Structure 1
Amino acid sequence: MDKLMSLFRKISLFLIIVLLSGCASHAVRPLPRAVRDYNIPTIAILDFENKANFPYRWNLGQGIRDRLVDELVNSRRYTVLNRADIQDVIRELEMQNSPKFRREGRLDKGRLKNVKYLIKGAVTDFSHVAGGGISGFVRNFGMGTSGQMAVVSVTLYVTDVETGEVVVSKSFSDSVWAGEVDFAATYKKVTFGANSFYKTPLGEATTNVIRKCIRSISETIVREKWYPSVVKVVGDTLIFSGGVDRAVEVGSVWTAHEQGEILVDPQTGNELGRLPGRNMGKVEVVQVEDYFSHARILEGDFSPGQILQRVPEEKPVKEVSEESPAI
């Protein structure tokens, strides 16, 4: 019995240590290296229209949309908002401010995020077609086999909400060799979006088309460089945005700059860019939190809103030996 109690205490102590070590670590992971230097755009995905003639009652538009949302969220390149159920959210906020509900836990109004880009589209093809691919290759050698290709096509639209400009309008298609599969036997009992679906030829083609859509979205809207900005100045220290999430490092040195003047085309009203701002000083990071960092002021005058740029580390210069090489 004593041995059993001793074993129980050891196991309990081990579990406590594991839990404490988990609590001590940061809950936030750094953004992927390809993402952390860019602004994260806020987007909303609207329903995709189904224009494909598919024999089963699959909601292709919603299915493609849901898969696109999943992939965009998992990429950590975007803040993805739900506009499909926004009226339900607004009604809930209005109910919370009714005198019939308690004040405790009431959410603040005016905190819903604004969308920078709206994304929508249409499923234009979702089928098996005869010929092509491997079957065509085989027929060229006189072999009378036939086959099918699974084809998925999607038209994608991305609109800049601020200007109303359609910045992406492209069609994407992909085909996967399906061979001599029985269409009804393959898809009749499969649910769109299930793991079993993505193992089918149409599922593989869907995955490839979604990846093409995401690549096009990223190339178009993930392009604005991100810079941390001064949040608060406290004596000889300051706090600026960006921490573990942006892979800010203790000991790194940053220069602060005023926001430069925005250049606007007088004929079109389009923003052309921004002039460099005046250098206001230099700081060194002393502590990094999840989403912000503390820095010691080395020199200069600081105020909230100034942007920071990291000073590149100087690489040590290798000393060249003056000794003559051996002959």
Structure 2
Amino acid sequence: MKKKSLILIGIFFIIFIINACGVLGEITEVSGNTETNPIIKYRVAVVDFENKTKYGQARLGSSASDILTTELVKSGGFIVVERAQLQKILDEQKFQQSGFVPQDSAISLGKILGLNALITGSVSQFGVKIEGEDALFVQTKRQTAEAVVDIRVIDVQTGRILYANSGKGTAKKESGAFLGMGSHAGYDETLEGKALREAILQFISDIVLQVSKEPWFCRIAEVEEKNIYLDAGMESGLQLGTRLEIYHIGKEIRSQSGDLIGSLEEKTGEAKVTKYFGSNGSIAELENGNLPLRGDMCRIAVQ
């Protein structure tokens, strides 16, 4: 009797496990079919950071901007203008080469490079502390690098600051020797990069969040007959079939102090993206309205 009871319990247990696996299998299949919307990438440029400290001369500033550029690209939300291209424009237009860029310069850079935002900043503090202990048989050496980085993200349409913050990073290294054998290394310059990276990593998610709150836009690079050439395409995440609203940017409106408040906009028509063009461009066809002008702005139409 006990054997029969145990067999029946075993059969019910097996049936329960099979049914549970079936339910879990269905859940997994449903979640696996869930689709996510493609990400539209914002086009930004990073100006070399100003080094306000006594360490490293210009090296710290350029290192900070390089680290930020790498992390922005890794985030998947941005197309970052190459430094050589940015430097060429800075030289030609005689703009400030590093640090915080004036409002009018930021707006001009935005128009020339087709930017959604401009990022500037500075290394405001940097220091290295070296400590050591010299016992009878053992010697130890501790190096600590600390960096404070300030950052600003600028809206290139108005020159207003979208985001500003400061971040602190610390990097440490310890070495030692026993009876004169072991590491006697001098100052480790890699600590600079590690401290800067730790400070900058604090900004990345906030930059993505703040920039993505602003409406994405691209500009019209050229118009030939019915073809409208845009300065955004596959790399930017602009999908074929996307409908765009076209705006002509008119007179600038400034405050009493001369700061730009905004510009008058006139909607001139709508177009649809039909094909990709070049490395990161696309071609759109006018669906209604007037043929746009080179330099006009396009925003994704609200469905």
Band of TM-score, shorter chain = 0.5 to 0.7
Q: Note the C-alpha offset of 1:270.
A: 0.8
- Out of 117-126 and 292-301, give the one that drifted further: 117-126
Partners of 2:233 and 2:68 in 1: how far apart? Answer: 23
Q: How do 1:1-327 and structure 2 match up within 5 A?
A: 33=39, 36=41, 38-41=42-45, 43-47=47-51, 49-50=53-54, 59=56, 61=57, 63-74=59-70, 75-76=72-73, 77=78, 78-79=80-81, 81=83, 119-128=121-130, 150-154=144-148, 156=150, 172-175=167-170, 182=176, 188=185, 191-193=188-190, 204-212=194-202, 226-265=216-255, 267-275=256-264, 277-289=265-277, 290-304=279-293, 305-313=295-303
Would you say the 8 A contact 1:174–1:205 is kept in 2? yes
Partners of 2:146 and 2:208 in 1: how far apart? Answer: 21
Would you say the 8 A contact 1:149–1:175 is kept in 2? no
Aligned-residue identity in percent: 13
Would you say the 8 A contact 2:219–2:297 is kept in 1? yes
Distance 1:230 1:252, change over 3 A: same
Distance 1:219 1:152, change over 3 A: farther
Q: Note the C-alpha offset of 1:152.
A: 0.7
Residue correspondences, number: 220
Would you say the 8 A contact 1:150–1:175 is kept in 2? yes
Whichever structure has more strand as a proportion of its residues is 2
Partners of 1:118 and 1:239 in 2: how far apart? Answer: 30
Would you say the 8 A contact 1:255–1:281 is kept in 2? yes
Q: Note the C-alpha offset of 1:192.
A: 1.6
Would you say the 8 A contact 2:126–2:145 is kept in 1? no
Would you say the 8 A contact 2:143–2:172 is kept in 1? yes
Matching residue's letter, 1:70: D
Distance 1:63 1:191, change over 3 A: farther
Matching residue's letter, 1:124: F
- Out of 204-213 and 283-292, give the one that drifted further: 204-213
- Map of 2:103 onto structure 1: none
Would you say the 8 A contact 2:215–2:299 is kept in 1? no
Would you say the 8 A contact 1:126–1:151 is kept in 2? yes
- Write out per-residue CA displacement over residues 226-251 of structure 1, whole angstroms, 9 at most, x where no aligned residue: 52222333333322221123211111
Partners of 2:262 and 2:291 in 1: how far apart? Answer: 24
- Write out per-residue CA displacement over residues 66-95 of structure 1, whole angstroms, 9 at most, x where no aligned residue: 43132133224543647xx99xx99xxxxx
Would you say the 8 A contact 1:43–1:118 is kept in 2? yes
Partners of 1:248 and 1:166 in 2: how far apart? Answer: 26
The alignment's C-alpha RMSD in Å is: 4.9
TM-score (norm 2): 0.52
Matching residue's letter, 2:290: D
Gaps of 5+ in 1: 1-31, 52-58, 91-111, 131-146, 314-327
Partners of 1:166 and 1:237 in 2: how far apart? Answer: 35
Q: Note the C-alpha offset of 1:215.
A: 7.3
Distance 1:272 1:129, change over 3 A: farther
Gaps of 5+ in 2: 1-37, 93-111, 133-140
Distance 1:148 1:79, change over 3 A: same
Secondary structure of 1:250's match?
Answer: coil
Partners of 1:252 and 1:167 in 2: how far apart? Answer: 27
Would you say the 8 A contact 1:239–1:293 is kept in 2? yes
Partners of 2:130 and 2:186 in 1: how far apart? Answer: 17
- Out of 218-227 and 231-240, give the one that drifted further: 218-227
Would you say the 8 A contact 2:169–2:195 is kept in 1? yes
TM-score (norm 1): 0.49
Q: Note the C-alpha offset of 1:222.
A: 9.2
- Write out per-residue CA displacement over residues 111-165 of structure 1, whole angstroms, 9 at most, x where no aligned residue: x98xx776443543222579xxxxxxxxxxxxxxxx97935133547799x9x99
